[in-house]
Structure 1
Amino acid sequence: MAGREPGAVVVTGGAGELAVLWVGFPLLGVGLGAAFTAASGWLADLPWFPFQGWFALLAGLPEGRSYPVGAGLAGLAGAALAYLGTRERLTVTVGREGVRLHRDGQGRDVDRAAVAAVFLDGKALVLTDAAGGELVREPSDLSPAALRAAFTGQGWPWVGQDPYRAAYRRWVPGLPGLPAGADALLRARQRALDTDRGGEVRELRGELARLGVVVRDEGKRQYWRVVAGPSDP
């Protein structure tokens, strides 16, 4: 396990990111809450504006109570966003023998021997095997320079760009060349992408990987390629 290796390098957002989450988000919430409270009487009269009942309630409170209530609840909403953001932070621990990726209370280990290339695809950290299958594709806001330094410093095969990028084709329903069953999975995944169901999108990526299909996204568009053999996501 990478986390137990002597000399393993940890890449994370650091204290600055936590400060933005736990100080910036609540303060922003308080500021917005105060601004909305000041405009609550006007907003409550707009028939198209959401939460009119809430703004009418704020407008009906005495000024000495409306601002603490409006700003305080918005500040709590900012703290809730900070909590969710903290759970979603990716931590990458790179050792000579393996790497651990930790997010949302769950960790995943990948052995160095299974990895043929490491690179960034946009904001996603990608690890591929010798057949071109993706072992890992993890979106993150981690520093590209820090990730590159951690992997190269531990002797991993970091490459500047996706070595298989030219092999991708844009998915169009019914396009030939896909393994049996892959088109149906891509159709379902497209529906999940269009409706922002992230958990289903990730699950269907795994199902496609078991058929030997690697998929990458550009916005709501899917691109695919076939590897030599099925690989685990």
Structure 2
Amino acid sequence: METIVDEPQWLRTASWLGCPLVGAGIGWFLQSIADWVVSLSWVPFKGPFQLVSDIPDPWGPVAGAGAGLVLGLLFAAVWAHERLIVKVTPTRITLTVKGRTRAYEAELQAVFLDGKELVLLASDGRELAREKGDVDREAVAKAFTEHGYPWHAEPPAVK
């Protein structure tokens, strides 16, 4: 039996839909924002803003929305790439982050969250893994305790 701790499906879906839509929305108004910035007398380096402001209608808002859409997709891709996925079985722990998967089958002394970092300590006290991720604290604790791993609610005291 395998337990997987990952971001909820609704959040993964929302990131792939929401980030591009928000980016496109901001991009749509980019020309209006540039017009406003150019009108301010105290703003230095008006050149890039003037360039955006001078794009003829309707191409300014359309180009801005397109650029925002692409940037939103890039942001969602980085988000997906950076997320931590934890798979736990009675004999193996698999951590996937940044497109890299590592499996651990060693006997463990402790498993805990140190802030937002999941830490695996070997039975000899050395750190096997320390991976940053936004995992649900309760879900990850339940996954490890259900499979018999030594879960600690707090980082153990250093000896």
TM-score (structure 2 length as normaliser): 0.89
Shift of 1:28: 1.6
- 1:143 matched to 2:136? The reply is yes
Q: 1:62 aligns with which of 50, 56, 59?
A: 56
Q: 2:67 aligns with which of 63, 66, 73?
A: 73
Shift of 1:106: 1.2
Q: Is contact 1:37-1:71 (8 Å) kept?
A: no
Q: 2:89 is matched with which residue?
A: 95
User: What is the number of equivalent residue pairs in this alignment?
Assistant: 158
Q: What is the distance in 1 between the residues matched to 2:149 and 2:106?
A: 7
Greater relative contact order (CA < 8 Å, ≥ 6 in sequence): 2
Q: 1:168-224 CA distances to partner (integer Å, 9 max, x unpaired)? A: xxxxxxxxxxxxxxxxxxxxxxxxxxxxxxxxxxxxxxxxxxxxxxxxxxxxxxxxx
Q: What is the distance in 2 between the residues matched to 1:27 and 1:12?
A: 24
Q: 1:159 aligns with which of 139, 152, 156?
A: 152
Q: Which runs of 5+ in 2 are unaligned?
A: none
Q: Which runs of 5+ in 1 are unaligned?
A: 1-6, 168-226, 228-233
Q: Name the aligned partner's letter for residue 42 of structure 1.
A: W
Shift of 1:157: 0.8
Q: 1:22 is matched with which residue?
A: 16
Shift of 1:152: 0.8
Shift of 1:73: 0.5
TM-score (structure 1 length as normaliser): 0.62
Runs of 4 or more, structure 1, over 6 Å off, are none
Q: What is the distance in 2 between the residues matched to 1:54 and 1:87?
A: 31
Shift of 1:59: 1.4
Q: Name the aligned partner's letter for residue 145 of structure 1.
A: E
